[in-house]
Structure 1
């Protein structure tokens, strides 16, 4: 643009990695014009993240890319185990193997918590999927070879200076800016500090093409950890995981190998040194390896001191690595970033389009991006760092290995572990390794950490069930998140629990019994452009939705009836007899397994109000005519959930 007064767009995104691209797609789905600027010519060329938990895959479903992810992800037969080996060579031995990420013994547990499956897909294959979708929705708004060199925040807009590949600079303006530049400097330039530990371990990784499946003892192990007593502990020796493309073939298969630099390594760890370390670790004779790319990086465990540039007025929001730098042990970094913008964009949507109810507008709601997401980032940071250190403090210690030992002492300790006749130290080490797997559950079997997080501050009407039950059991007796097990609940602040629903349809494929049905999850009922009220008796809530002169929140609330078993037809008829307004027509779905009452904790007349990001905003266990029958009651609940003035307290439940 050459005009001295640049056009102002509602939103600008700095960074075109997965978090930036996901932001763009969400904004497009909300029909918000925006620009995205990425300094590189295209998507990432070096593998980084690879594992996506249920919450993230549910967001992929919303983005419209779940099908593409499923088509390219690792087959389920190859993503549910992990193991430790000394090497893959002729003398290599397996130390221990275990189930992980919903594989093996965890399959049923992982299958019941979501309509989506834990998926493994290297970031180099995910990003093109996101890019394609972002361009489909916003073909004129995605810019590569566009480096943001300056971001200046004014009272009513953000000025963004962008340098193109030819050196020319253009200034853009945006009402809001999402900083998703991977932590490459924007956070620091805004004067926002970091908390946590920096430069913990010096790491290198290599993206290679090699026929390793021909030598791999068990390719069901997605990640293989190597513990060679001559090369150091598990982090120092390295780890390996496959990258596809799937199905894997010897002539095309790709892998990532990573390890920490040891004191004896050369200061310049070039491609030659990288290849030597890989071959030393694998110990496969005459292995032909094509080195595609290498990366030198430090493990950091950091979280920005705030996620909004200024509380109450800031127009720049940090997301992904610009907000938190997470050790990769536990695969929570990119997941947390995608979930950050899922929380943010619906709030920006209301701030940009919503009616201003008071002088602050939606600024209080925008502040909740920080108060809700930053505690999650801090916990994930600390959990992932604990997972990293557990490899050395738990596994290596169990094997009797230590960096303070001599090589001979480490070799002797490992030999005793494999000596089945050694009923002394060897037997103790074998028991210690088995015990270590329970501790490592925090990385490999951690549904509580992956999907059990919640927002404790969301409690509009003083619902005390969370405090009374340690938030449905998701907090342990010390008040810390229970990371292993997931406890679904409709306590305000929780993610709406998943269960399968069905109803008859007028067109589409027939089932085996000849009936036409549609099957969806409760999570599929969530609307990113509004709230959903779930209840088994929707006819009771008509007055609560209505107001004199019309409902100020318009079509923001959609009512869904959930019937359990035989009561389905009664509820369906009742809803048809009392037809609501066109803006609030009722969908009725049948809970065939009858799980909704126990899973929701509600009486048939009770209700749950769910935010656009699938988080429970409010609930009442049962309908009270005196409280809930007043016209406009739910309008007040919605306004209070959006932290807007002018909404009276709905009343204690």
Structure 2
């Protein structure tokens, strides 16, 4: 049996695995990715890609291709609720209400101020081939689909994996320094004795991926997700959810769609294709509806998380580490963010620049965030029932009674003002899902890789909806446009290439000099710049950095390669080199000496 040696073995070819592969290649580290499946996902699955994710994809060079294939911003400004789609009642298809989603097509000032990257939408069935192609083009990672992990053993020096080439039926061995389990929880976690806990069987949904022209029934070009609250079927929000899949057109002219329907977890009809299609036709109200069916899949919502994210030299990320409802679009994004948090730490250890303790901060930082995402996703799913409550719809009422409940929304009746406002409040509460900016973008880290500066604890104005830029250690680097030699760029891109970034104020030359000496002496990937409105290395042309930096002109912040603030000094210090040495020793779990590397 042949054996190969590789620094990192990645098991799983979905969003987490492919992102890890691209990042390792970008940072100059070889890897091997294997996937048991012979192809990328055949299911639409996740589709919303948030700002943090698109920043990461920008760093590895694949963002432009995703934006090109994804939903145009004008077609993903809102989500809306409708009284079904079509049928014999005069009010079928009428809009009940709408809400902006994830920055309203990059028109929300908070989203524009937060990042140079806008949220986009590209179903996983179309995203994964783009990621796979780009991972292969980067040239440092070998991608092998249709290769299955049979077993793994680890020791103090590495991991030995036995792998089956399913096409040739030949087995081979891989010796890796580290193994990343991104296989959706199928093999790796169980192989190292890691279990998952949390609520299961939250609800069952059936998804129908189909090709159909629905443009004659649909308007509202700006609506991304349509919630079809059909009064004939009790009006539940989960009676029909319609999501466009493109690929060439979006909005009402989308060529493909996914239609989600809720079922009881023990309903046998969910497993019978004809009954599923019969219910879909009835819910849509189109009796002769005969779309092209690509795939029907039944799946159960759950909210589980791995008891541990690390076992020796094995790490879990993505669905192998956590699985939760799709509401809010946090699953795929969390997987990408897992990879981004872990890979720079692995690279630092592989280069001999950091100690093993740095790798322990992966779980310390990501597990609380992933658990928070699970909790929010479950809350999002349950919160949709407020729409039903505000409308007064119920499966226990007749169709006529349910339609009567909707009349005050459209006709001026004594109950109209109260009904309309109740619905307005219920829809407004959905901002926990569609404007959860602090959950998807502004989450913070606390670990040994973050040096506490003793400032007051962060108490958010709203822990879900409002991202508040800050340079407090553990927070993401605030976005600012800066210029040098007439070229404008986002400040955060200065970490691209796996760099630490020391940002000093206009009068922070001592910090910059100290950082440059440390980088030279210890061969550290550390850049140092002064950013300010006046005399500085990078000019803060819109004063966005001045607004959010929270340091004086003599202070400094140290930004990690994943664009998180690791250290902050409000002002100058007597010995900046000694302070930075101690800071990096803590972050990197190492002991930098005064001698040159």
TM-score in terms of structure 2 length: 0.93
1:33 aligned to 2:24? no
1:334 aligned to 2:332? yes
Deviation of 1:233 after TM superposition, in Å, equals: 4.3
Whole-Å separation in 2 of the counterparts to 1:83 and 1:638 = 49
Distance 1:69 1:220, change over 3 A: same
Deviation of 1:138 after TM superposition, in Å, equals: 3.2
Whole-Å separation in 2 of the counterparts to 1:318 and 1:61 = 24
Q: Deviations over 1:560-619 (max 9, x none)?
A: 12120xx23xx4xxxxxxxxxxxxxxxx11112223222101111111110000011101
CA contact (8 A) 1:607 1:621 kept: yes
CA contact (8 A) 2:181 2:316 kept: yes
SS at the partner of 1:112? helix
Distance 1:338 1:192, change over 3 A: same
CA contact (8 A) 2:43 2:125 kept: yes
Distance 1:492 1:37, change over 3 A: same
Residues 390-469 of structure 1: pairs in structure 2 closer than 5 A = 390-392=383-385, 394-402=386-394, 405-407=396-398, 411=402, 414-418=405-409, 420-424=411-415, 427-457=417-447, 462-467=452-457
Name the structure 2 match of 1:320: 318
Deviation of 1:250 after TM superposition, in Å, equals: 8.6
Gaps of 5+ in 2: none
Whole-Å separation in 1 of the counterparts to 2:224 and 2:546 = 38
Whole-Å separation in 2 of the counterparts to 1:410 and 1:149 = 58
1:563 aligned to 2:557? no
Whole-Å separation in 2 of the counterparts to 1:460 and 1:85 = 47
1:63 aligned to 2:55? no
Distance 1:398 1:252, change over 3 A: closer
Residues 154-233 of structure 1: pairs in structure 2 closer than 5 A = 154-165=155-166, 166-233=168-235
SS at the partner of 2:315? strand
Gaps of 5+ in 1: 356-360, 505-516, 572-587, 649-653
Quote the RMSD (CA, aligned, Å).
2.5
SS at the partner of 2:310? coil
Distance 1:147 1:500, change over 3 A: same
1:290 aligned to 2:292? yes
Whole-Å separation in 1 of the counterparts to 2:480 and 2:41 = 36
Whole-Å separation in 2 of the counterparts to 1:556 and 1:451 = 25
Residue number among 345, 362, 365 corresponding to 1:369 in the alignment: 362
CA contact (8 A) 1:640 1:647 kept: no
Name the structure 2 match of 1:509: none
1:608 aligned to 2:557? yes
Name the structure 2 match of 1:78: 75
Deviation of 1:129 after TM superposition, in Å, equals: 1.0
Whole-Å separation in 2 of the counterparts to 1:78 and 1:460 = 39
- Aligned residue pairs, count: 588
Distance 1:458 1:496, change over 3 A: farther
Distance 1:389 1:413, change over 3 A: farther
Deviation of 1:185 after TM superposition, in Å, equals: 3.8
Residue number among 276, 279, 290 corresponding to 2:278 in the alignment: 276
Distance 1:429 1:28, change over 3 A: same
Distance 1:59 1:227, change over 3 A: same
Deviation of 1:171 after TM superposition, in Å, equals: 2.1
Whole-Å separation in 1 of the counterparts to 2:175 and 2:584 = 32
Name the structure 1 match of 2:147: 146
Whole-Å separation in 2 of the counterparts to 1:133 and 1:35 = 15
Deviation of 1:75 after TM superposition, in Å, equals: 1.0
Name the structure 2 match of 1:87: 84
Q: Deviations over 1:430-451 (max 9, x none)?
A: 2221111221110011111111
Deviation of 1:423 after TM superposition, in Å, equals: 1.9
Q: Deviations over 1:608-649 (max 9, x none)?
A: 11000001110111112x242xx444233212221225689x
CA contact (8 A) 1:25 1:134 kept: yes
Deviation of 1:30 after TM superposition, in Å, equals: 1.7
Whole-Å separation in 1 of the counterparts to 2:8 and 2:239 = 45
CA contact (8 A) 1:36 1:143 kept: yes
Whole-Å separation in 1 of the counterparts to 2:27 and 2:246 = 34
Whole-Å separation in 2 of the counterparts to 1:68 and 1:132 = 11
Deviation of 1:417 after TM superposition, in Å, equals: 4.5
Residue number among 378, 381, 389 corresponding to 1:385 in the alignment: 378
SS at the partner of 1:370? helix
Name the structure 2 match of 1:524: 493
Deviation of 1:52 after TM superposition, in Å, equals: 1.0
SS at the partner of 1:465? coil
Whole-Å separation in 1 of the counterparts to 2:585 and 2:332 = 32
SS at the partner of 1:214? coil
Name the structure 2 match of 1:352: 350
SS at the partner of 2:248? coil
Distance 1:253 1:419, change over 3 A: closer
Whole-Å separation in 1 of the counterparts to 2:384 and 2:50 = 22
CA contact (8 A) 2:502 2:527 kept: yes
CA contact (8 A) 1:13 1:20 kept: yes
Name the structure 2 match of 1:582: none
TM-score in terms of structure 1 length: 0.85
SS at the partner of 1:198? coil
Deviation of 1:256 after TM superposition, in Å, equals: 0.8
Q: Deviations over 1:90-113 (max 9, x none)?
A: 431221122222117952222111
Whole-Å separation in 2 of the counterparts to 1:495 and 1:264 = 43
CA contact (8 A) 2:81 2:227 kept: yes
Deviation of 1:555 after TM superposition, in Å, equals: 3.7
Deviation of 1:28 after TM superposition, in Å, equals: 0.8
Name the structure 1 match of 2:13: 16
Residue number among 637, 643, 646 corresponding to 2:583 in the alignment: 637
Whole-Å separation in 1 of the counterparts to 2:356 and 2:265 = 51
1:503 aligned to 2:494? no
Deviation of 1:531 after TM superposition, in Å, equals: 0.8
Distance 1:390 1:592, change over 3 A: same
CA contact (8 A) 2:309 2:321 kept: yes
Deviation of 1:214 after TM superposition, in Å, equals: 2.9
Name the structure 2 match of 1:591: 540
Distance 1:490 1:248, change over 3 A: closer
Larger RCO: 1 or 2 (CA < 8 Å, sep 6+) = 2
